[in-house]
Every structure is written in C-alpha cells, then in structure tokens.
Structure 1
C-alpha cells in the first residue's frame, strides 16, 4: 500500500496519540506479561562477550528494558510516545531515546542486539524496507534482531485507534532478507497452545556479517 507523506504523518501522530492517551491503562495491562521466552531468544544468539548493548525498539513504559538491565546488559530504549518515554525513564533509570519509528536517527554499528517486541508491526509496509535497513545498519556485524508481530495475511490498516500491518511468515521473511538479515529461528506464541490460538509470530535474525 503506497502512502503519501501526509498519510504517514497521520499514521504516526494518531497511533502515538492513542498510546499517550492510554499510557497508564497500557502499563497496568502489560506490566506482568511474561515475555521471558522472547528475551531469552534474543540473548541466546548474540555472539561475543557479555554484557551486550541492546536497543529495546518500542520500549513502551519500560518493562523489558528493566529486565535487560537487571540481567547486566546495557539497554537503551527507543519510543515514539512521549508519555511512554517519561514512564520508561522513571521506571528503569535507563537512557530512552524519543524517536518516531518513521524518523529514526541511529548510530552506525552500535548495538549487539535489537529487541522489537510488538512494535515493528506499526510500521506501514511501504516504509518497512527503509526502517529495517536502518535497524540493520545500527547493528554490529553479526548482530541479532528479535521481532514479535501479530500474525495475519498481510492486512494493513487501523484497528482500535492504532495503525498496524499483520504479516504472514513468507512476506516477513521477504522483508527481512531484503534488509540483509538471515533467519535464525522462529516460533509462535503463546507457547503450548494450538496454532489457531497463537496470534503472535516471533522470529530471530542475524545481520549478514561484513
């Protein structure tokens, strides 16, 4: 779906406004979610000596940012919703960058890993190749990206005040390969349920070494 600059501006502003408006409710509803499987999946495949420098992409109020820090890693959050930025800084004491997903300003080859848990699906399909390339560029050679997205059949549009893209596995693989990532593994969540009751698709990718 091709979107013009005004469309993209509206997507960002309205989606972020939704999160700002519901920030406290979102925190209460998600602060106890167990995503330990996802955190472990990222850390398992990062090579080199710990502690790792990790970008929590779309860190929200800071739940997972705090976990990475408690595990001894250097964790930096990135978040577009101003209220979430404030909450994440307060809850974790970590550095949190206030950046829109569609207007990133990232250092070159800085991070060992990127944790994109329930965040990249907010990037419109037309902009995803560029955003994934920017994320690839901010990883060190051989660095690892984890993503978790709601499953779908490539539907794209508005749901409950937020813009999202609901990828299938093959389309997602195409996006990631084009950005010079190679697949390490993937799985569906929540674990232990029948496939029809696993709405989340998690995957781990390595930046092609230089």
Structure 2
C-alpha cells in the first residue's frame, strides 16, 4: 500500500505540473556539460557492448530520451505520469513512449542493453528502493549498463534524507548506500561523477551520477 500510495501521489502531482515542468527543463542539458558528458559516456559503453534497446525510466517530457537517440542509441521512454508521456509523444513523435512503473518494467529478463534512471528514484520511498534497483538488474542483459542520477545526502552516516521538492515528496541518497544496493542486484559500479552545488542551482545539494555494469 505504501508503494501504491506514493506512486499514485507522485503520478498525480506530475500530471498537474507536466506542462510547466516540460517548459522549465526542455533545454536543461544545454547548460549542463557534466551531465552531457556522463550521458555521452553511457551511450558510448552501450554501443561498445554491441548496442541494443535502452530504456529511459522516468523520462518525463522526453528531452533526455531524445538526446540519447541523438547519441546513437535505440531508446524508448517510460514514465508513471500519463500527462508527461503525452507531452513526450507530442514533442518527439519519432520515439516510443509508454506509461509504466519502475517496479514492473514491461521487458523480459535481460532484455535491455542499457537503463537510464536520471532523477527517477528521488520520489521512491526508502523501503521500496531495493525493489526498484532489483528491477533495473532484472531487465539488463549481462554486460548491460545502468546510469542513475540522484541528489546526495549530507554524509555517509545518512543513507537517506527527505527534502522539500516542489512537485512531490523526495529523498536524497548516500552514494555508498545506493552503490551497495546496486551490488546486491548484480550491478558493479564503473564510474561516479559528483557535481558540487553551484550558486545558480535551485537546491544546494550534491548531484551524483553512478555508472554501473551488470556482471
């Protein structure tokens, strides 16, 4: 029931904010060279492994999904918010987008070469995060890669911290804690990027990208 309530509340909140969110974040990658670098590295390792289908889970209005396609990946987007998916389809008609949950991705075991979860897990209640990470591991093929982005806690002694998010309740995660969950699901960390908060950032949190590979 906790998962259902949290998912429903998050979906409803993003449905209500979808148009504003899409406008605010449409060009966000333009001013984020480090994010573009990590997305580029992700695309390169997926292609080097032979390519295959990639999922952008929690894709929102689809701008990052479209960027992955520009980087040469065969990609689809999935989001819990029907309004977000509607906007993504309108903005990027050549890409497939579907409504769905990260806890039950409609893909066969080992069916994906890559998974992107960029700020997708921040609304996941802490007791539910292991199941979400396990689902990432399930859908990835051996040798497949996961790139996960999230806001970091203030220290290793705080595995998770709730923070005030404009749309829905959200959580920050200790990078070591999240890396341990990845290992438990058969995903070995390959690289980590930590971006320090900048004066122009809305929130003064560290942002972390973890790149992991399924053994």
Deviation for aligned residue 1:133:
1.3
Question: Which structure 2 segments of 5+ residues have no match?
Answer: 30-34
Q: Give the SS at the match of 2:126.
A: coil
- 1:202 aligns with 209
With the length of structure 1 as denominator, give the TM-score of the two structures. 0.86
Deviation for aligned residue 1:161:
4.2
Question: Which structure 1 segments of 5+ residues have no match?
Answer: none
Q: Give the SS at the match of 2:169.
A: strand
Q: Give the SS at the match of 2:137.
A: helix
Structure 1 residue 19 and structure 2 residue 14: aligned? yes
- 1:61 aligns with 61
In the aligned structure 2, how far is the partner of 1:122 from the partner of 1:192?
Answer: 23
- 2:144 aligns with 143
Misfit runs of 4+, over 4 Å: 190-193
In the aligned structure 2, how far is the partner of 1:115 from the partner of 1:41?
Answer: 12
With the length of structure 2 as denominator, give the TM-score of the two structures. 0.84
Deviation for aligned residue 1:157:
6.6
Deviation for aligned residue 1:79:
0.5
In the aligned structure 1, how far is the partner of 2:171 from the partner of 2:73?
Answer: 31
Native 8 Å contact 2:49 2:144 kept in 1: no
Q: Give the SS at the match of 2:60.
A: coil
Q: Which of 185, 188, 193 is equivalent to 2:194?
A: 188
In the aligned structure 2, how far is the partner of 1:62 from the partner of 1:13?
Answer: 21
In the aligned structure 1, how far is the partner of 2:63 from the partner of 2:208?
Answer: 20
